[in-house]
Amino acid sequence: MTMALAPIGEAAPRPPSMVERMTLIMDCFEGSNARLLLEEIARRTGLPRSTAHRILEQLVRLQWVEHTRAGYGLGRRVARWGARESGHSDLRAAAAPWLHELVMKTDLVVHLAVLDETSVEYLDKIGGRRASAVASRVGGRAPAHCTALGKAMLAWLPAEKVDALYAGGLPVATQGSITELLVLHQELRRIRGRGGLAFERGECVEGVACVGAAIRGPERPVAAVSLAGPQGAPLEVVAPLVRDAVNRIGRELLGTALRV
């Protein structure tokens, strides 16, 4: 057997440690809610398939990763840490009873999210039997201009702020995504004309439709709430419930009667 030796004066390359390999795998899920197959994870990390599988089994057991027939995704432990680190405990506590009430009244999936530059960050998701049909997770992110949540918040920002946020263009999530800044401004004007109600049908995830409204503070939107369901969900019928929920959350959180 012949061994490859490092040149004199140079240290032999150190193989990645277990922690480094676990980090490589966890980084595969950054910025996406999509499920990944084992083969894709092995390709992205450069790890042997057997090594990736062995580490994934440990991550699943520890709840950092979850495994379904659709593939691997981030697990409950990540969601708990994400919610803890987001620093929105007061918001989540104020919203919780109204989010549960929305689910009970509509049998749809409810989200609570905040705006972070051009993304929305999900702080809460409740949906009962329908939750698995909507590819979102607590701590996850989605393009703001592709979601009812994001558009509801963008609608109350100054136009020049929106221009600055999207100076580099609008990323595409589906064929239904808004791709031009002028079209986005037109959509935001329509949202304001409806008193703050934002709709999206297949713009973020194909086959999923949402209606959302922002919780508005004195100077800017604080967060947003949405209802999500299949493409044919009666969003116009349930939209007033979303409007009522954000008003109630706003009064609970800020102590003032907020308008949407």
- Tell me the whole-structure pTM to 2 decimals: 0.66
Q: For residue 79, tell me if it sits in a domain.
A: no
State whether 241 and 117 are in the same domain: yes
Of the candidates 87, 123, 91, 122, which has an alpha carbon nearest to the alpha carbon of residue 246?
91
Give the angle 77-121-110 at the CA atoms, nearest 5°. Answer: 85
Q: What is the pLDDT of the chain when averaged over all its residues? A: 84
Q: Which two tokens stand for residue 45?
A: 């990390």
* Domain with 240 in it: 87-254
Residue 9 has pLDDT above 70, yes or no: no
Residue 126 has pLDDT above 90, yes or no: no
Average pLDDT of the residues in 86-115: 86
Q: What's residue 182's pLDDT?
A: 95
Q: What's residue 223's pLDDT?
A: 94
Q: Which two tokens stand for residue 25?
A: 């795998």
**Buried b or exposed e, range 127-139, using 16+ CB within 10 angstroms:** beebeeebbbbbb
Residue 131 has pLDDT above 90, yes or no: no
State whether 147 and 204 are in the same domain: yes
3-state per-residue secondary structure call for 37-103: CHHHHHHHHCCCHHHHHHHHHHHHHCCCEEEECCEEEECHHHHHHHHHHCCCHHHHHHHHHHHHHHH
State whether 141 and 42 are in the same domain: no
State whether 103 and 62 are in the same domain: no
State whether 57 and 158 are in the same domain: no
For residue 198, CA distances in Å to 17, 149, 225, 238 come to 47, 7, 10, 12
